Amino acid sequence: MASPLLASLDLGTGRVRAVAIDLKGRIVAEAAEPTPTHFPQSGWAEYHPQELWQVVRRVLSHLAETAKSLGTIQGFATGSMGEAGVLIDEDGRELGPIIAWYCGRTVTDGEKMRATLGDDYIFRTSGVTGSPSFSLAKILWWRRCHPDVFAKARRWLNMADWVAFRLTGEARTDYTLASRTNAIDLGKLAWSSGLLGKLDIDPDLFAPLIASGAVVGRVHTRAAEETGLPLGLPVSGGGHDHVISTVAADTTAPGILLDSMGTAEGLILANDRPIFEDALRRGGNQQSAFYLDTPRYKLMCGLTTSGGAIEWFRRQVGGTSYASLIAEAQKLPPGSNGLCFLPQLRGGDQPYPNPHARGAFIGITGDASPGALFRSVLEGLCLSTRLGFDHLSAIKGVTPVSRIRVIGGGTRNDLMMKIKASVYGRPLEVTALSEATCLSAAILGGIGAGVFSSVAEAQERMAEGLGTARLVEPDPHWAARYDELYHTVYAQLPAALNATHDALARFRDGA
C-alpha cells in the first residue's frame, strides 16, 4: 500500500517552493523556482499571472513526479505572501498584473482612503491601520487608474486563494489573508459591509471566509493535467506565510514570540482576543485572525526587508560569498566601529511606518571595509527588529513574552543569531525549521483531508521532522554594547529622519 504523503506550496516574494512530506514530518520531495518579478518603473513591483502560474505549474509538476514513487499525496494547501492579490472576471480570468505587496504605486490611494474614512475608524474595524500595501488600496488604485478593467472584476483573490482557485475552481479566503485587506471586521470575523460601503465597494468582491485547514475544493481535471497533482485531491485553506508558520514552529499559544526570518521578517505573538489600543494603530503594528479550532489573534510587527537586505548588499559587492562576508564581519567588534545601517529599503517599519522612508548607511569612513558594512547590515536588522518588538510588548493587553523562537533561512547565519540574541538580551530557541511555511501548510492540508484531527495531533505525530530547538545565548559584552547603541541611536534614528525622508520623496516626485 502506498505511503500517505502531504504536499504544500509556498508562494513567496523570492521563490515559489513546493514540498511533499511523510506523516513523520520529513520532507521527502521538493521543487522550487524564483518568483518572477517585474519592476515597470521606480518604486513599482508586480507579478504577471500567466507567467507566475507557469512557475507554479512547473514546480508542482516536478514535485508530483518526484513524489510519485514515494507515496500518494492525500492533502494539499498553500501558504503565500500577504497583501498581493489579483482581480478575477466572471469567467475566472485574471484581469491584469498582480501588484506586489510592497509596490509603491498605491501610496496615494492608501492615503486618500485614510483621509476619507479616518484611520481610527479603519483600525477599530479591521484591527490594523489603513495601509497602502493592503488589498483595499490596491483595489482603489485599479478603480481609479483602470476603471474599465475594474468594471469587469467579480473577485479579489489573495495569492494562496488564487492558487486554490486555479486548482479547484472554488474561491475562498482564509482569515489570515483576509486580515491583510483592511476589509474585514476583525471583531465580527466577517467582511465589513459598513467600511466597504463607505468606499462604494461591493463586499461580494471578496470570497467567502473559511478557517485555515478547511477544504476549499478538489483538484479538477485541467489542474491535474497541468500540475500532476492527483485528480480529486482535497485542497485546503492555507494562509499568510508568516502567520501559519506558527503551526510548525509550535508557537500558536500566547507568550511565545515567533521571529520568522525570510526575505521579510515577521515577529508574531498570539493573543486570545483582538487588541484595539491606539498605540497599536499609531505604531503601524499588525494583527491577524488565525482560525483553526477556535480563533486566535496574531499580533505582528517586523521588517519589510530582512534576508532581502542581506542579499541586496551581497549583490552590491559583486556577489561575494556569504561565508567570506561572515568571516570578515566576525573579526569586528559589536557596533561595526560606529557604522550603522537602517534597513528601510521598502519604506519605514514599525513603530515608525512611513512609505517615504529609505535605507541608509550612517557613519561611513574612507576605510570602511565590506566586512564592516556587512556586519552593520546584520546589526541594523537585529536592532530594528528590537525596536518593533519593544513597542509591541509595551502595548496594553499584549501577553508578556516568556520565550523567543526563531525560524527561517536567516537561522543558518550563526553570527547573526549571536547578534540577535545579544540585541534582545534573551536566549533564542533556534529551530531547524527552514521550511516552516511549507510544513505548516502541509499540516493544514492534512487536517482538511482528515489525516489529522487537530494541529496538536499533527505536531505530536510529526515531532521527528519538526525537530527540536537549539539554544543561542546572548554574549554579555555584546549585549551591553548593543543596548547602548540601541538606546542612543536606533531607538531615535527612524523618527528623527522622517522629515528628511519626506523631503527626499518630494524631490523624487519633482515637487
CA dist 309 and 343 (Å) reads 7
Same domain, 235 and 316: no
Contacts of 197 (CB under 8 A, 6+ apart): none
Same domain, 184 and 95: yes
Q: Which pLDDT score, from 0 to 100, does residue 348 have?
A: 82
Question: Could you tell me if residue 259 is inside a domain?
Answer: no
Find the domain containing 365 and state its range.
307-394+488-508
Question: Could you tell me if residue 60 is inside a domain?
Answer: yes
Q: What's 277-288 look like in SS3?
A: CHHHHHCCCEEE
Q: Which pLDDT score, from 0 to 100, does residue 1 have?
A: 56
Question: Could you tell me if residue 317 is inside a domain?
Answer: yes
Q: Which amino acid is at 124?
A: R
Q: For residue 427, give the DSSP letter.
A: -
- Structurally, the chain folds into a number of domains equal to 2
Where does residue 417 fall: left (phi above 0), alpha (psi -120 to 50 degrees), or beta otherwise?
A: alpha
DSSP 159-220: HHHHHHHHHHS---EEHHHHTTSS-EETTTTEE-HHHHHHTT--GGGBPPEE-TTSEEEE--
Same domain, 118 and 215: yes
Question: Could you tell me if residue 416 is inside a domain?
Answer: no
How confident is the model over 60-84, as pLDDT tens digits? 999 999 999 999 999 999 999 989 9
Q: Which pLDDT score, from 0 to 100, does residue 350 have?
A: 80
Domain final position from 190, 211, 244:
244
* Residue among 250, 247, 275, 249 nearest 399 (CA): 275
Residue 433's SS3 state is coil
Kindly state the cell numbers that stand for 28. Answer: 521527502
Rg (the chain; Cα; Å): 22
Same domain, 365 and 223: no
Question: Could you tell me if residue 450 is inside a domain?
Answer: no
* Residue among 174, 205, 252, 241 nearest 448 (CA): 174
DSSP 90-139: TTS-B-SPEEPTT-GGGHHHHHHHHHHH-HHHHHHHHSS---TTSHHHHH
Question: Could you tell me if residue 341 is inside a domain?
Answer: yes
* Residue among 273, 272, 169, 154 nearest 203 (CA): 154
Same domain, 15 and 159: yes
* Full-model pTM: 0.83
Same domain, 25 and 166: yes
Same domain, 163 and 28: yes
How far does CA 463 lie from the centroid of its chain? 25
pLDDT < 50 stretches in the chain = none
Same domain, 83 and 175: yes
Same domain, 31 and 173: yes
Kindly state the cell numbers that stand for 212. Answer: 485555515
The C-alpha torsion from 166 through 238 and 287 to 354, rounded to 10°, is: -50
Domain final position from 224, 244, 264:
244
Q: Which amino acid is at 199?
A: L
Domain final position from 215, 244, 273:
244
CATH number at residue 496: 3.30.420.40
Question: Could you tell me if residue 464 is inside a domain?
Answer: no
**Residue 12 half-sphere exposure, CB side, CA atoms within 13 Å?**
29
Contacts of 418 (CB under 8 A, 6+ apart): 472, 474, 475, 478
* Residue among 353, 281, 334, 344 nearest 312 (CA): 344
Answer yes or no: are the C-beta atoms of 151 and 137 closer than 8 Å: no
Q: Which pLDDT score, from 0 to 100, does residue 286 have?
A: 85
Same domain, 50 and 163: yes
Residue 83's SS3 state is coil
Question: Could you tell me if residue 277 is inside a domain?
Answer: no
Same domain, 218 and 355: no
How far CA 20 is from CA of 23, 70, 75, 163, 320, in Å, comes to: 10, 10, 10, 17, 33
How confident is the model over 367-408, as pLDDT tens digits? 899 999 999 999 999 999 999 999 988 999 898 999 999 988
How confident is the model over 95-118, as pLDDT tens digits? 999 999 999 999 999 999 999 999
Contacts of 509 (CB under 8 A, 6+ apart): none
Q: Which helix (H) or strand (E) holds 270?
A: strand 265-271
